[in-house]
């Protein structure tokens, strides 16, 4: 890791570059067995290695009623598991670009805040087909064939959060505040992961999403 930083009472500017080798990675194998108890611990997990590298940039304003910061990360995380071949593939937590900005403003007894986050989509493995096997006991088991490991990307993730807090100041024997926040203000449908099921030889895709717009009202009282 290498970096450079400059800071005074009003500003902070920071830049870092990093690279790291990852070892001892494991992934649950989800392999099928008529008697799962016959599989030992090692057979239930794949073992692998990986690499992580990237650049982090940060600019922060620390003075005045208006403060805030802007951060950007350019990164890459790759894994290699022998079971998938000798070629490296993008890790499930690989995010190429991530941008985040936080702004706060203080006016009289009010505190306002706004946060925006953008991140490029994470990798996932898509299905390529499916089939059903009839077992010896007459029951059936569905199987889904998959494409190249983590060769696809979810849509980009982004959201905008806002909040406002009123400070009562002295209230009885303590201090009180009341606040309202709105998470994901414009109700972005951000994908968390995709789930696949096989029904009548047809693959059904379900897009599991993070929370949409979510209001939150808080009241805090601190005794003195």
pTM above 0.75, yes or no: yes
7's enclosing H/E stretch is strand 2-7
Q: Are 78 and 90 in contact (CB under 8 A)?
A: yes
Mean pLDDT per 10-residue section of the chain, whose length is 224 residues? 95 98 84 55 80 98 98 97 91 97 97 98 92 83 87 97 92 84 98 90 91 96 81
Q: How many domains does the chain have?
A: 1
pLDDT value at residue 42: 63
Q: What is the DSSP letter of 10?
A: S
Q: Are 191 and 224 in contact (CB under 8 A)?
A: no
Residue 196: name the closest of 185, 180, 207 by CA.
207
Q: What is the DSSP letter of 32?
A: -
Q: Are 199 and 221 in contact (CB under 8 A)?
A: no
- How many alpha carbons fall within 13 Å on the CB side of residue 85? 5
- How many alpha carbons fall within 13 Å on the CB side of residue 91? 20
- Pairing verdict, β 97-107 and 127-134: unpaired
Q: What are phi and psi of 150, to 5 degrees?
A: 50, 40
Q: Are 50 and 92 in contact (CB under 8 A)?
A: no
CB under 8 Å to 97, separation ≥6 — which residues? Answer: 72, 73, 74, 118, 119, 120
Q: What is the DSSP letter of 151?
A: -
Which CATH number covers residue 91? 2.40.170.20
Cα(208)–Cα(191) distance, rounded to whole angstroms? 6
Cα(135)–Cα(73) distance, rounded to whole angstroms? 50
End-to-end CA distance of the chain: 45
Query: Domain range spanning residue 85?
Result: 2-223
- How many alpha carbons fall within 13 Å on the CB side of residue 140? 9
Q: State both tokens at 34.
A: 């008529």
Q: What are phi and psi of 193, to 5 degrees?
A: -160, 170
């Amino acid at each position: 890791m290498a970096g450079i930083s400059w800071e005074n009472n009003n500003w902070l500017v920071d830049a870092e570059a990093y690279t790291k080798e990852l070892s001892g990675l494991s992934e649950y194998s989800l392999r099928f067995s008529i008697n799962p108890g016959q599989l030992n611990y090692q057979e239930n997990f794949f073992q692998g290695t990986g690499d992580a590298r990237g650049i982090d940039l940060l600019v922060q304003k620390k003075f005045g009623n208006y403060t805030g910061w802007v951060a950007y990360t350019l990164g890459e995380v790759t894994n290699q598991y022998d079971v998938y071949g000798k070629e490296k593939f993008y890790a499930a937590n690989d995010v190429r670009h991530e941008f985040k900005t936080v702004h706060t403003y203080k006016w009289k007894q009010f505190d306002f805040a706004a946060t925006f986050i953008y991140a490029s989509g994470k990798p996932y493995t898509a299905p390529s087909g499916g089939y059903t096997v009839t077992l010896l006991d007459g029951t059936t088991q569905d199987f889904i064939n998959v494409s190249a490991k983590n060769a696809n990307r979810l849509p980009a993730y982004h959201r905008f959060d806002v909040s406002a807090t009123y400070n009562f100041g002295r209230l009885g024997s303590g201090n009180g505040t009341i606040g309202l926040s709105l998470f994901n203000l414009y109700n972005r449908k951000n994908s968390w992961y995709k789930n696949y099921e096989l029904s009548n030889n047809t693959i059904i895709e379900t897009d599991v999403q993070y929370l949409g717009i979510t209001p939150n009202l808080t009241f805090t009282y601190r005794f003195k």
